[in-house]
Amino acid sequence: MAIQKRSRQNRPRDEERTRNKQLNIRLDEQMKFALSFAAKQKGITMATWLDQQLQDFIKGTGWEAYWHPSEPVREVLRLRYGRKQGIRDEEIALFLQDFGDLMFRDTAPKVQVLEAVWPDLGVYLKAWKKDPMEARALLEKAIAKLPKSVR
């Protein structure tokens, strides 16, 4: 029996491949049994059953509008247009409102800018609370280091 290899031309391109993340959850014995039982009743794996239940649960919630492969962009979209949870979210939303001209092109987020700024967001927030003009200068300095095509 010959094993047939897939040629490079038949393989899906990187952007077409689905990338999965692993999720670890703790369940007590009863809940684990219930999950296993429900999955076996349908003849599928527990992961598939959970995936199907989640898909059914979130239909119509509008979560797709906030999805982006970049985590900073997802957070910014959630904070800018979605529900804010707590004082920190409110602060970040106000910060984004003040400096939106640096981080958005029209209404679309500048992905590379957000990815560059996001890890040091605490520093910029602290500076913004003290002196918004100082925070703007810090942000502009960080953004200036990026290639012109992404600014």
Q: pLDDT means per 10 residues in the chain (151 residues)?
A: 52 59 88 94 93 88 84 88 85 91 87 91 94 94 88 74
| Alpha carbon distance 114, 139 (integer Å) | 11
What pLDDT score does 105 carry? 86
Report the distance separating Cα 143 and Cα 99, nearest Å. Answer: 12
Tell me what pLDDT residue 1 has: 45
H helical segments located in the chain? 29-42, 46-58, 71-81, 87-98, 100-103, 111-117, 121-130, 132-144
Predicted local confidence at residue 59, as pLDDT: 87
CB-CB neighbours of 78 under 10 Å = 19
Residue 31, pLDDT score: 94
At 26 the pLDDT is 92
